[in-house]
Amino acid sequence: MKKTPPDINLNKKSERREFLKTAWKILGLVAATELVFLTFNLLRPGKDQKKSKTAANLKIIGNVEDFLPGSVTPDRVNKVYMVRQKDGGFLALSLICSHLGCSVLWNEEKKQFICPCHSSAFDRLGNVINSPAPRALDYYPVTIEGGKVKIDTGQKIKRKKFDKNQVTYAI
Ligand code: FES
């Protein structure tokens, strides 16, 4: 039997060692990537968590019949004014002034929201009548289900001015 020279044996061994080293590196990289992916998925809020967060932010603020058409009702707990339109629509306005964040007060006589800090005034739809407020009062999406009026306190929406799409109607 013919013997292989020692140099060739050494070369084959070192090639095998290099191959194994590379294979281990690739396996390590795959394992590390999977670990990062799993950790990310574990820490990221899932769809269910997002849904429950939204559900947690939906606050019932009363029954439809609690808000008379044309009325403005404060809800100090949720920091909103529920403005019921004469045609029955609901508009939930933030009571936080869009200037520097003081609480605006509804003046029934003037039919205006007035800020006690720097005298900004807003009409009953939240539009600016008197500066320095730079934009209309923010509003919250309203949902009406089973005769209950709910607002999504997790979604305070900024706006330049009133638009009829901001009003919700009971179906
Ligand atoms: S905070 Fe309301 S006008 Fe300045």
* Cβ-based neighbours of 108, under 8 Å, separated by 6 or more: 72
Q: Is the CB of 114 under 6 A from ligand 1?
A: no
Q: 6-15: which pairs have CB atoms within 8 A and are 24 or more residues apart?
A: none
- Count CB atoms within 10 A of the CB of residue 81: 25
Q: How far is the C-alpha of 122 from the C-alpha of 126, rounded, in Å?
A: 5
Beta-strand relationship, 72-75 and 148-152: unpaired
> E strand or H helix at 48, and its extent?
helix 47-57
**Averaged pLDDT of the chain:** 87
Residues linked to residue 96 through DSSP beta bridges, in sequence order: 103
Residue whose pair of structure tokens reads 């089973």 in the numeric block: 146
Residue 5 has pLDDT above 70, yes or no: no
Amino acid identity at 94? S
Residue whose pair of structure tokens reads 């429950």 in the numeric block: 52
Give me the pLDDT at residue 37, please. 67
Q: Helix, strand, or coil here: 102?
A: coil
Q: Which atom of ligand 1 lies closest to the CA of 120?
A: 3
Judged by average pLDDT, the poorest of 29-33, 140-144, 153-157 is 29-33
Residue, of 28 and 109, whose pLDDT is higher: 109
Q: Is the CB of 102 under 6 A from ligand 1?
A: yes
Give residue 115 CA to ligand 1 midpoint distance, Å. Answer: 6
Q: 58-166: what CATH class? A: mainly beta
* Cβ-based neighbours of 86, under 8 Å, separated by 6 or more: 69, 70
pLDDT, tens digit (0-9, with 9 covering 90-100), for 57-76:
889 999 999 999 999 999 99
Q: Is the CB of 62 under 6 A from ligand 1?
A: no
Q: How far is the C-alpha of 72 from the C-alpha of 61, rounded, in Å?
A: 13
Give me the pLDDT at residue 119, please. 97
pLDDT, tens digit (0-9, with 9 covering 90-100), for 79-137:
999 999 999 999 999 999 999 999 999 999 999 999 999 999 999 999 999 999 999 99
Q: Helix, strand, or coil here: 114?
A: strand
